[in-house]
Amino acid sequence: MKKNMGSADKIIRILIAIVIAVLYWKDIISGTLAIVLLIVGAIFLLTSLISSCPLYSIFKINTCKVKEE
């Protein structure tokens, strides 16, 4: 997979995933909303770790800094 996420995107996604996890852990969110947000948080975390977002590929977005030769 081609990397298409920059550092800022990865940090923001990881922070959002952490916030969702803490909200769930503290029982601030529950039920269906919690499940949906946990899935979104897991997707954010996974895409941050692999530095590639499938939606970015579909919309041809690239926030990764490219080295010019």
What pLDDT digit, counting tens, does each position of 19-47 carry? 999 999 999 999 999 999 999 999 999 99
How many Å apart are CA 42 and CA 4, to the nearest integer? 18
Query: Whose CA is closest to 6, among 67, 66, 69, 65?
Result: 65
Is residue 15 in some structural domain?
yes
Is residue 66 in some structural domain?
no
* Residue reference for tokens 């975390």: 45
11 CB-contact burial (10 Å; exposed 0-12 / middle 13-18 / buried 19+): exposed
What's the one-letter identity of residue 2?
Answer: K
Domain that holds residue 41: 7-58
Is residue 63 in some structural domain?
no
Q: Are 1 and 59 in contact (CB under 8 A)?
A: no
Is residue 27 in some structural domain?
yes
| Number of domains into which the chain is organized | 1
Residue 15 DSSP SS3: helix
Is residue 14 in some structural domain?
yes
Is residue 33 in some structural domain?
yes
Is residue 16 in some structural domain?
yes
The per-residue pLDDT for 67 is: 61
The per-residue pLDDT for 57 is: 86
